[in-house]
Amino acid sequence: MRITRLSVNGQEAGCITDEHPVFAFSLDSDLAGEDLAAARIRVGDWQIVTDQQIGIRYDGPLAPYTDYLVEVEATGTSGATATSTAAFRTGRLDRPWIGRWITDASYVTPKKASPTPMVFRTRVTVDRAVTRAWIEATALGVYELTLNGHKVGEDYFAPGFTSYHHQLQYQTYDVTQLLRDDAHNDLVATVAGGWAVGSYTFARKNKIYADRQAFLAELHVEFADGTSDVVPTGDAWEVSVDGPVRMAEWYDGETVDARITAERMAWHPADVTAPPASPAIRAQYGPPVRVQRTFAPIGRTTAPSGEIVYDFGQNFAGVVHARLRGREGQTVVFRHAEVLVDGELFVKSLRTAKATATYTCADGDQTYSPRHTYMGFRYVGVTGIDSDDLELTALVLHSDLRRTGTFTSSDERLNRLQSAIEWGGRSNFVDIPTDCPQRDEREGWTGDYAAFATTASYNFDMSRFVDKWLRDMAAEQAPGGGIPMVVPRAGNGFPVMATSLWGDVCVMAPWAEYLARGDLGVLRRSYPMMKKFVKAADWWSKLLAVGERRRIWRFPFHFGDWTSPDGSAKEWIQKGRWIGTAYRANSLGIIAQIAELLGETTDAARYRSTRDEVIAAYRSVFTDGAGRLKNEFQTAYVLPLHFGMTDGAETEAMVDNLVRLIDDAGGHLRTGFPGTPYILFALSDHGRVDRAFDLLLQSGPPSWLYMVDAGGTTIWERWDALRPDGTVNTLDLNTGKDTGGMVSFNHYAAGAVGDWLYKRIGGIEPTSGGYRTFRVAPLLGGGLTSAEAVVETPYGRASSSWTLSAEGTFRLRVEVPVSTRCTVVTPDGRQAQVTSGTHDFVCEAATTAPAMVDGRGLTAPRR
């Protein structure tokens, strides 16, 4: 038996924390049927004996700046043992900062524009041998440090995006190897406006959290003679706004003049300041943004305009990296776009964003890559340099997320779809879950992630990422329970109120994470926020309503069937009451289960009772009582079917009516954000497996495979973002005029179909938190002859791999991690309960579908 992964706060190494950490470990064994009997976990004099492998909280003492060794000895039910160690280090805890916030008080940030980056510097003299040195730093803005000309750390966009009025992360960087003994050391920080001060939101607001940038840091040095010192920020530092980075912002890009050196800059003493609010400053608790891979171009052309165009073959979020031979004063311009039209970069869809990096050369060989911005792009247009003098690559940037899932099948189109889903996630997981990475937006829209949460949690370990975001969500929840439509709100103009799907994220995102990771902590921390939200939904439902209509959620506002291929934005919104009421029932059902898990049995009973009342109202108000909606549209059938809101003949009628609407649409879906994640489940889980596969494999617009066949390498915001004639759909959603309206080729919400790929084709889904119990029940159809879904669960690797021969023989291999149980359902309807190990099944293929399960991975309630 072996411990295959031991994590502290979700990290296998390098954990620095100001909070009591949480441990988890996975096991592997050569012995089938092995389970954990007990584990002894020691940290110094503290120890615990437990039969749990995840969510194990350290409750021992914590002292600042202390290294702690975690020792785990696990014993299996067979008597086999395994050991492993990990470590964590505490940060400041609640120790006051010696450093003071510094800025340039004379600088005035221009209106609706990002500020000029500020450069702060100090010189540190070291007069004796150093054993250890580290820097703790944070900023209002985004900062980058250099020590003696070398970049400190690997992070981009530190300190990360949080609700700065409430909480702020600081980073810790070990600089022992960069600090020179017996020499002067130059410590420099460049601070751009970022999210705190820079231009943000499509309204181009700025100074959202502060009037200008500010920086806070301490350099800690420990010497060989046992002494130590701290070099803090304060009025001994200097500041300049004449640095080489002339402009930096999210939307317009970055401008750098390599001719500007420290000697040419105007310096003056920094001013001591204070942030406008008093946020809690804590050691970084979210994953940093870092370079994840490097792309070389797959092609190079010359546009009719003369611009050199590089194709990187994949739409993604990141920056260019240029090695170039230039002469002093030569200016090279890099423009970015997602698509080409007639051989030219198509930038109209960027709206006001320029997405341009401009670099003025020094003389000779040099390198340039933007450090204070990022773009969403596949294509880069370059002017100002000959291609022979340029070697261009691209750096993929996103939060440092461990990949936990893979899906493949015999249909290469579905494999490309899965790749597009993954890249849509990667591109939009840049410190927060953004809507898109390219245009003048890139905000944390809550509805997008609510739709995508379960798919995201299959593909990546989202635990630290989502937990960080949920802290901001809870901090910005309205006193009445409303959830911002964008988190952090950061200048977004929408009022904070309870609204369906967008607000339901406070229930759906923690639930998806619990099912994927099994740690009750995320539910416990989010439960107060959930309770306030469902209470707000209840209040709004009762407003100006009588009788059963007091359970219909109409007010104050819903986005409705957002991005449906049918109608305008106004028409999508008008469908809000159907969608709001169904999502209300769904969230009540989830929070009832959460309440049970947390021991809140009285709450659970109340939520179940209210859910029943909401379901009864939906059926009475919106249907004829026999399964037909009075106002028909696909999403209004999909949601009650998938959320377990129907019964008996009514269910069959609703399925028939949904199929009829699909047929009326020529075999296409007509769902927006709320219905798209569930339409295939609504079909397959109610006996229409063939129709679900037909819809999945539909290749005409609107469809998932249309995007893939049209060359999309990420998921689009609008189903017809690129029309069959090759033109881009930039029509305004309400006027129908071509104004460069809402269109993005990298918008992950419709990629929520990935949930069905894993759960129904691969057949693998959790039935309790963290896959302690799970189910493997593949569906056959669509001409597929094989598929495989692999998930790295908290307990270890779980997988489902199947083949179907031409003669109809079905072969399935299932991997079950130590300490877990799996229910296997083969296509002939037989079930088997299996324990850890690898299990093989063979049967003759049949059309019998597995028993109905809902999208939450739990048996759907029958009425």
- Give pLDDT tens digits for 459-478: 999 999 999 999 999 999 99
Residue type, 109: T
pLDDT at position 742, please? 84
Domain at 316, CATH number = 2.60.120.260
Residue linked to tokens 């959790």 = 766
Q: Which two tokens stand for residue 641?
A: 């079917």
Query: Same domain for 259 and 117?
Result: yes
**Residue of 174, 98, 171, 168 whose CA lies nearest to 133:** 174
Is there a catalytic annotation at residue 548? no
CA distance 656 to 831: 28
Query: Same domain for 163 and 207?
Result: yes
Query: Same domain for 107 and 199?
Result: yes
The residues near 191 (Cβ < 8 Å, ≥ 6 apart) are: 117, 118, 119, 120, 139, 141, 142, 143, 213, 214, 215
Catalytic residue among 443, 717, 765, 792: 717
Domain at 28, CATH number = 2.60.40.10
Structural contact between residues 155 and 169, judged by C-beta atoms closer than 8 angstroms: no
Neighbours of 831 (CB within 10 A): 12
Query: Same domain for 153 and 277?
Result: yes
Query: Same domain for 66 and 171?
Result: no
Neighbours of 224 (CB within 10 A): 11
The residues near 14 (Cβ < 8 Å, ≥ 6 apart) are: none
User: Looking at the domain assignment, is residue 376 inside a domain?
Assistant: yes
Domain count, the chain: 4
Q: List own/partner pairs for 629-633 with CB under 8 A and 24 or more apart.
A: 629/578, 629/657, 631/578, 632/657, 632/661, 633/561, 633/564, 633/566, 633/575, 633/578, 633/661, 633/670
* Boundary (domain end) residue, out of 370, 399, 428: 399
Residue linked to tokens 């181009």 = 204
Query: Same domain for 269 and 298?
Result: no
User: Looking at the domain assignment, is residue 273 inside a domain?
Assistant: yes
pLDDT at position 734, please? 76
CA distance 580 to 593: 20
Query: Same domain for 270 and 329?
Result: no
* Boundary (domain end) residue, out of 399, 416, 436: 399
Neighbours of 115 (CB within 10 A): 29
Q: Which two tokens stand for residue 535?
A: 């209470």
CA distance 692 to 782: 9
**Residue of 636, 254, 195, 165 whose CA lies nearest to 430:** 195
Query: Same domain for 119 and 220?
Result: yes
Q: How distant, in Å, are the alpha carbons of 184, 440, 619, 650 from that of 351?
A: 48, 7, 43, 47
Structural contact between residues 416 and 697, judged by C-beta atoms closer than 8 angstroms: no
Query: Same domain for 21 and 64?
Result: yes
| 3-state SS class at 754 | helix
Tell me the CB-side half-sphere exposure of residue 436, using CA atoms within 13 A.
Answer: 26
User: Looking at the domain assignment, is residue 47 inside a domain?
Assistant: yes
User: Looking at the domain assignment, is residue 33 inside a domain?
Assistant: yes
Residue type, 719: W
pLDDT at position 846, please? 65
User: Looking at the domain assignment, is residue 449 inside a domain?
Assistant: no
Query: Same domain for 82 and 123?
Result: no
Query: Same domain for 281 and 298?
Result: no
Q: How distant, in Å, are the alpha carbons of 9, 85, 403 from that of 463?
A: 9, 22, 12
Query: Same domain for 263 and 141?
Result: yes
Q: How distant, in Å, are the alpha carbons of 6, 226, 406, 557, 759 from that of 458?
A: 20, 49, 8, 31, 10
User: Looking at the domain assignment, is residue 837 inside a domain?
Assistant: yes
Structural contact between residues 554 and 577, judged by C-beta atoms closer than 8 angstroms: yes
| CA dihedral over 557, 561, 562, 565, signed as positive or negative | negative
**Residue of 85, 26, 84, 24 whose CA lies nearest to 58:** 24
CA distance 574 to 14: 50
Catalytic residue among 338, 422, 441, 443: 441
**Owning domain of residue 52:** 2-90
* Boundary (domain end) residue, out of 286, 309, 326: 286
Backbone angles phi, psi at 667, to 5 degrees: 85, 20
How confident is the model over 649-669, as pLDDT tens digits? Answer: 999 999 999 999 999 999 999
Domain at 801, CATH number = 2.60.420.10
pLDDT at position 739, please? 66
User: Looking at the domain assignment, is residue 133 inside a domain?
Assistant: yes
Is there a catalytic annotation at residue 12? no
Question: Which positions of the chain have pLDDT values less than 70?
Answer: 739, 846-863
User: Looking at the domain assignment, is residue 384 inside a domain?
Assistant: yes
